[in-house]
Amino acid sequence: MKIILAGPPGSGKGTQAEILSQKLDYAHFSTGNVFRDHLARKTSIGIKANDYMKEGKLVPDDVTLQITKDFVTTNTRKGIIFDGFPRTIGQAQGLDKILTELNDKIDCVIFIELSDDEIIRRLTARRTCERCGTIYNLDFNPPKQNNICDKCGGKLLQRADDTEAVIRNRLVVYENQTKELKNYYKNSGKMHVIDAIIGRDKVQAHILKIISPQ
Ligand code: ADP
Ligand code: ZN
């Protein structure tokens, strides 16, 4: 099963993808995480991607599709959750092509939506453990000790692109790209929309209901 989780930055799609992939034992493919991992290892992909990421712009489709193809063709799990990908029509078409060549297809596309004000509120309060990657929110999911990870004792950092100015840019980019993307998937009968304001657990339950066999 191949599931796409789409949604603006801060909608919680990364958290949902993480929980879901563990529950179902699926692979979790987050293009943002893969780019950050490349950057940490200072690969040529990471250095190139960072020019775009630091301004909240999209990394060019050819680079994004290359890491996708590498991931999909080497995946051994029975399913994949695509998180934050595809974001452009070019990526959506590229993904369809990659899957078609493997005799596979997308089963389900879920858009998790949230208002801009709520997104900015959530993202400016987001902190990530530099060691294990666990995500906290200072408002509704704070660590027990200030700036220290509950799980591993690592230091909690704010992502470089989680400042209000860069977030606003990411939202404009998202808005522009998503209209097209929704049209691309709208007529497929596979598209679902969930409002994230209902909270993490209810969003998760809703997703499970959507993907469980009828
Ligand atoms: P968010 O959804 O919160 O913006 P991500 O971690 O998904 O965060 O992405 C961070 C950055 O990585 C994006 O702003 C963009 O520069 C780059 N990126 C991630 N996914 C894609 C993609 N599918 N296409 C192009 N660029 C991407
Ligand atoms: Zn940690």
Residue 10: its pLDDT value, please? 87
**Given the residues 2, 36, 87, 122, the one annotated as active site:** 87
Residue 110: inside a domain, yes or no?
yes
What's the CATH number where 14 sits? 3.40.50.300
Residue 103: inside a domain, yes or no?
yes
Question: Measured in angstroms, how far is the CA atom of residue 58 from the centroid of ligand 1?
Answer: 6
Phi-psi sector, 144: left (phi>0), alpha (psi -120 to 50), beta:
alpha
Residue 129: its pLDDT value, please? 94
Residue 136: inside a domain, yes or no?
no
Residue 60: inside a domain, yes or no?
yes
| pLDDT tens digit sequence for 83-118 | 999 999 999 999 999 999 999 999 999 999 999 999
Instruction: Give the span between the Cα atoms of 146 and 118, in whole angstroms.
Output: 23
Q: Provide the residue range defining the domain that includes 52.
A: 2-115+171-211
Residue list, CB under 5 A from ion ligand 2: 129, 131-132, 134, 149, 151-152, 154
Decide if 200 is catalytic.
Answer: no
| pLDDT tens digit sequence for 35-80 | 999 999 999 999 999 999 998 889 999 999 999 999 999 999 999 9
Residue 128: inside a domain, yes or no?
no
Instruction: Please provide the DSSP assignment of 120-189 as one string.
Output: HHHHHTEEEETTT--EEETTTB--SBTTB-TTT-PBEE--TT-SHHHHHHHHHHHHHHHHHHHHHHHTTT
Residue 9: its pLDDT value, please? 86
Identify which ligand lies nearest to the alpha carbon of 172: 1
Sheet with 191-195: list strands edge to edge. 27-30, 80-83, 2-6, 108-113, 191-195
Residue 125: inside a domain, yes or no?
no
Number of domains present in the structure of the chain: 1
Decide if 126 is catalytic.
Answer: yes
Residue 139: inside a domain, yes or no?
no
Q: Cβ neighbours of residue 20 under 8 Å, at least 6 residues apart?
A: 3, 5, 26, 28, 81, 204, 207, 208
The pTM for the full model equals 0.86
Decide if 159 is catalytic.
Answer: yes
Q: Angle of helix 61-74 relative to helix 89-101, nearest 10 degrees?
A: 30
Residue 87: inside a domain, yes or no?
yes
**Given the residues 159, 168, 182, 190, the one annotated as active site:** 159
